[in-house]
């Protein structure tokens, strides 16, 4: 057992924990099953990374977010902490070597997607590991009442039968209703109920709903009046680029972001925004996960989200420096029709789902009874065109088939090229002496990266080409020849989405989409969309109170700063008082509240309230 404060300082450079972090860490270290509810930006990863570092053995982290999984592994490696990620898309050899490293290589963290938990190779190797903690990230995914239920999460409980009984579970999530909180603990077989949570209240965050039929005009006017960095969330990829272009044409420093862009472009856009070189990023919900930019002054949703959980999480990316910030939802009556249409599109008819499944096997040339655990390149656009399907119907049909556990659809592989040496150092040296043609290239490879003899190492062919001062085609040629000679195993970079059959392909007439994954999920989505519409149309309640009540918090007071609260305050001040202050300001009198109060014979608190309201309603700056 190590000093957790020393670990925090040594690896992360912090002197103290954030609120609730230390309580969660100590609960895990004491061996108690724990459900940690922490809002976005609360530092969830610290709550399991620190206790795992304080104990002997390896920590298993189950998460559905492949991109975030890989980011966290890279971040841990930068801290000189051994970590690896296992997910669909890896070759059998890759998975074998990485799991071997977890057993024998002193690794501290194994990130794994839930679909991998049930495989024979994983279950065999995990029995050989000394596991100190089982972490369930995005824990709401295990509950059918959660906004992102994934049936593959139900297999996590079975892992408890394999692991020693004393290994605790730490489940973490940013958003969960009271019903979901109870369901998570039941599904993960908590030995005793144990929930640690911080209030979801964000006192520095002002929630506003603006009813407007001209959203672009409102957006432009707002960005011209209010300074600072911001995120604008749009529903689809095309809209992100259209809105960004509109803002650029009107003098706003803006860019767009979505999952369809290649890895390098996304990284560049993200970095420019984080560094302040780009003021506004217009994005789909693919943007923001794992990004901790403290000085975001506003998050604006130009389209309503599917759930209040998603809205709360995305809005929560504003104001992490605890300075006053804004979460704005732009809404119009037509949005209700769009939300209802979204429900219809998200659940294609069962016959359409079966036809998509059958066509998928033909497209990927997978025979009935075959295909299990083989990662296969897949193009949604090409598939839809070949079989004359509507793309959106195909996308949602694949997602339903995935939820049922037949496939895994990785839309965003972000798979860099990888290399591992298949020969030992002495044999490699002999090969270099005997093959002068390859000697210089191997030296460049070994100088550019390390670890080739024990694990797969991600490489960049472009970087190697620059180091060697040759074309990238020359690098490809060297890598492919060394691969054929069994000196290395070279896995080229994947540029397409991937489909992995998580069980053998079956005849489509036996494909069954369960009631839990179709009708129940459809009913839940309908209820979620209704909650979003209630929030957008509510005129008789504080916005902050509505959100907090949704997540089960009680004994709440109005925030005093959302659009409803501002309207209420306006009504408490007479028209005559408003006119007096407005006339005084127009006449050039001092805007100091105390002096204005003396001049006008008004209470200072009313002057302050009028000034604040005028500012929030963009009448003064």
**What length does the chain have?**
621
Determine, yes or no, domain membership for 597. yes
Query: In this predicted model, what pLDDT tens digit does every residue of 362-373 receive, in sequence order?
Result: 999 999 999 888
Tell me, what's the pLDDT at 590?
66
Tell me, what's the pLDDT at 619?
81
Q: Which residue from 62, 29, 65 is spatially nearest to 47, judged by alpha carbons?
A: 29
User: How many domains, the chain?
Assistant: 5
Higher pLDDT, 2 or 6: 6
Tell me, what's the pLDDT at 289?
65
Q: What is the CATH number of the domain that holds 264?
A: 3.40.50.300
Determine, yes or no, domain membership for 621. no
Distance CA 566, CA 67 (A): 40
Last-in-domain residue among 197, 213, 241: 197
Question: pTM for the complete prediction?
Answer: 0.76
What is the residue-averaged pLDDT of the chain? 89
Determine, yes or no, domain membership for 560. no
Label residue 594 by pLDDT band (50, 70, 90). Answer: confident
Query: Percent of the chain having pLDDT more than 90?
Result: 58
Is there a single domain that holds both residue 502 and residue 485? no
Average pLDDT, integer, range 221-246: 94
Label residue 413 by pLDDT band (50, 70, 90). Answer: low
Residue 91 in this model has a pLDDT that exceeds 60? yes
Q: Phi/psi of residue 434, each to 5°?
A: -80, -15
DSSP calls for 89-129? TB-HHHHHHHHHHHHHS--SEEEE-GGGTTSHHHHHHHTTS
Tell me, what's the pLDDT at 617?
79
Distance CA 364, CA 238 (A): 28
Rg for the chain, CA atoms, rounded: 27
Picking from 194-198, 264-268, 355-359, which range would have the lowest pLDDT averaged per residue? 264-268
Is there a single domain that holds both residue 363 and residue 248? no
Distance CA 87, CA 239 (A): 31
Is there a single domain that holds both residue 283 and residue 399? no
Report the 10 Å Cβ neighbour count for 426: 8
CB neighbour burial string for 570-603, b if at least 16 within 10 angstroms, e if fewer? eeebeeebeebbeebbeeeeeeebeebbeebebe
Residue 1 in this model has a pLDDT that exceeds 60? no
Two structure tokens written together for 511: 């494909």
Query: Dihedral (C-alpha) 87, 89, 93, 97: value to the nearest 10 degrees?
Result: -30
Query: In this predicted model, what pLDDT tens digit does every residue of 380-393 receive, in sequence order?
Result: 999 999 999 999 99
Is there a single domain that holds both residue 367 and residue 509? yes
Tell me, what's the pLDDT at 383?
95
Last-in-domain residue among 149, 164, 197: 197
Is there a single domain that holds both residue 441 and residue 508? no
Residue 360 in this model has a pLDDT that exceeds 60? yes
Is there a single domain that holds both residue 353 and residue 426? no
Tell me, what's the pLDDT at 137?
92
List the domain range (segments joined by +) for residue 588: 573-616
DSSP tag of 451: -
Average pLDDT, integer, range 519-525: 89
Residue 395 in this model has a pLDDT that exceeds 60? yes
Residue 89 in this model has a pLDDT that exceeds 80? no
How many alpha carbons lie under 13 Å from residue 505 in its C-beta half-sphere?
21
Query: In this predicted model, what pLDDT tens digit does every residue of 442-481 receive, in sequence order?
Result: 999 999 998 898 888 888 888 899 888 999 999 999 999 9
Report the 10 Å Cβ neighbour count for 451: 11
Higher pLDDT, 68 or 472: 472
Is there a single domain that holds both residue 147 and residue 32? yes
Is there a single domain that holds both residue 538 and residue 482? no
Determine, yes or no, domain membership for 177. yes
Is there a single domain that holds both residue 359 and residue 315? no
Is there a single domain that holds both residue 211 and residue 178? no
Determine, yes or no, domain membership for 139. yes
Label residue 58 by pLDDT band (50, 70, 90). Answer: very high
Is there a single domain that holds both residue 176 and residue 310? no
Is there a single domain that holds both residue 10 and residue 127? yes
Determine, yes or no, domain membership for 440. yes
Determine, yes or no, domain membership for 544. yes
Contacts 24+ apart (CB under 8 A), 438-446: 438/478, 438/481, 438/482, 438/487, 440/468, 441/468, 441/475, 441/478, 442/482, 444/468, 445/419
Residue 42 in this model has a pLDDT that exceeds 80? no
Q: Please, which residues have CB within 8 angstroms of residue 426's CB and are 6 or more apart in sequence?
A: none
Task: Check if the beta carbon of residue 413 is closer than 8 Å to that of residue 497.
Answer: yes
Q: Is residue 428 helix, strand or coil?
A: helix
Tell me, what's the pLDDT at 566?
87
Picking from 110-114, 394-398, 405-409, 429-433, which range would have the lowest pLDDT averaged per residue? 405-409
Q: Where are the alpha helices (DSSP H) in 288-349?
A: 308-315, 334-346
Tell me, what's the pLDDT at 8?
92
Tell me, what's the pLDDT at 451?
86
Determine, yes or no, domain membership for 451. yes
Label residue 57 by pLDDT band (50, 70, 90). Answer: very high
CB neighbour burial string for 329-365, b if at least 16 within 10 angstroms, e if fewer? bbbeeebbeebeebeeebbbeeebbbbbbbbbbebbe
Q: What is the CATH number of the domain that holds 381?
A: 1.10.10.10
Residue 60 in this model has a pLDDT that exceeds 60? yes
Average pLDDT, integer, range 232-239: 93
């Amino acid at each position: 057992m190590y000093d957790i404060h020393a670990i925090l300082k040594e690896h992360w450079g912090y002197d103290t924990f954030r609120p609730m972090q230390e309580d969660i860490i100590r609960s895990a270290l004491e061996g108690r099953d724990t459900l940690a509810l922490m809002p976005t930006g609360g530092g969830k990863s610290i709550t399991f990374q620190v206790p795992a570092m304080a104990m002997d053995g390896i920590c298993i982290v189950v998460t559905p977010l492949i991109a975030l999984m890989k980011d966290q592994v890279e971040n841990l490696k930068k801290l000189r902490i051994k970590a690896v990620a296992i997910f669909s898309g890896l070759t059998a050899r890759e998975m074998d070597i990485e799991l071997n490293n977890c057993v024998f290589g002193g690794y501290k963290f194994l990130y794994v997607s839930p679909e991998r938990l049930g495989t024979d190779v994983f279950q065999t190797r995990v029995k050989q590991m000394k596991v100190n903690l089982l972490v369930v990230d995005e824990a709401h995914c295990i509950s059918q009442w959660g906004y992102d239920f994934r049936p593959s999460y139900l297999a996590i409980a079975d892992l408890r039968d394999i692991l020693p009984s004393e290994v605790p579970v730490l489940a973490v999530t940013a958003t969960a209703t009271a019903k979901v909180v109870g369901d998570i603990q039941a599904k993960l077989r908590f030995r005793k109920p144990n929930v640690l949570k911080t209030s979801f209240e964000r006192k520095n965050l002002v929630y506003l709903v603006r009813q407007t039929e001209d959203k672009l005009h409102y957006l432009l006017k707002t960005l011209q009046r209010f300074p600072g960095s911001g995120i604008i969330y749009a529903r689809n990829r095309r809209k992100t680029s259209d809105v960004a272009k509109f803002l650029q044409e009107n003098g706003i420093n803006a860019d767009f972001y979505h999952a369809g862009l290649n890895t390098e472009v996304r990284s560049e856009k993200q970095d420019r925004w984080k560094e302040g070189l780009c003021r506004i990023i217009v994005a789909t919900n693919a943007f923001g996960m794992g990004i901790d930019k403290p000085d975001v002054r506003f998050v604006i949703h130009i389209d309503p989200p599917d759930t209040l959980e998603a809205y709360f999480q995305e809005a929560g990316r504003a104001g992490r420096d605890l300075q006053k910030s804004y979460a704005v939802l732009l809404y119009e009556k037509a949005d209700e029709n769009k939300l209802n249409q979204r429900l219809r599109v998200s659940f294609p008819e069962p016959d359409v789902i079966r036809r998509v499944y059958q066509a998928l096997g033909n497209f990927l040339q997978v025979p009935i009874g075959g295909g299990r655990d083989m990662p296969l390149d897949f193009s949604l656009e090409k598939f839809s065109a070949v079989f004359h399907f509507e793309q959106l119907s195909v996308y949602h049909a694949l997602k339903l088939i995935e939820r049922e556990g037949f496939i895994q659809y990785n839309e965003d592989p972000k798979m860099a090229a990888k290399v591992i040496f298949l020969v030992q150092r002495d044999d490699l040296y002999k090969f270099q002496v005997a093959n002068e043609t390859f000697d210089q290239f191997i030296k460049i490879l070994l100088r550019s990266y390390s670890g080739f003899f024990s694990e797969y190492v991600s490489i960049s062919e472009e970087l190697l080409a620059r180091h060697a001062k040759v074309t990238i085609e020359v690098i490809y040629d060297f890598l492919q020849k060394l691969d054929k000679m069994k000196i290395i195993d070279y896995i080229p970079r994947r540029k397409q989405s991937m489909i992995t059959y998580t069980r053998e392909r079956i005849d489509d007439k036996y494909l069954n989409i369960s009631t839990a994954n179709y009708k129940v999920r459809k009913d839940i989505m309908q209820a979620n969309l209704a909650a979003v519409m209630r929030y957008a149309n509510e005129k008789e309640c504080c916005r902050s109170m509505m959100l907090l009540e949704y997540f089960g918090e009680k004994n709440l007071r109005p925030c005093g700063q959302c659009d409803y609260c501002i309207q209420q305050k306006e009504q408490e001040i007479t028209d005559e008082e408003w006119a007096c202050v407005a006339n005084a300001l127009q006449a050039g009198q001092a805007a100091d509240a105390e002096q204005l109060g003396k001049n006008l014979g008004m209470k200072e608190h009313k002057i302050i309230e009028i000034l604040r309201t005028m500012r929030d309603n963009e009448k003064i700056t």
